[in-house]
Amino acid sequence: MLVLSRKKNEGIIIKGKDGDIRIFLIDSERGRVRLGIEAPKGYTIVREELLTEIEGANRMSALKDMEKIKRFIGEGNS
């Protein structure tokens, strides 16, 4: 992991074969930062906590579906 310190309006560039991604600090106050991200078309930028929430919801849905399948095929019935 690369750890950097940045001042307001400073940024970093991630070089890539499909284009560069630019991340820069817009503002910082009271333990929070605002970042700007510029990326070529084709990149999806999502907050990490949203991905975690979606993955959890998908797991719960799969478990519910598995219970329905077990009931349908009669698994667990004596």
Task: Residue 25: count other Cβ atoms within 10 Å of its Cβ.
Answer: 18
Rounded Cα distance, 7 and 39, in Å? 21
Q: What is the DSSP letter of 42?
A: T
The residue ranges of every structural domain in the chain are 1-42, 43-73
Higher local confidence (pLDDT), 73 or 45 = 45
20-55 residue pLDDT tens: 999 999 999 999 999 999 999 988 888 888 888 888
Whether pTM > 0.95 for this model: the answer is no
State residue 18's pLDDT score.
87
How far is the CA of 17 from the CAs of 11, 21, 32, 51, in angstroms? Answer: 20, 11, 32, 25
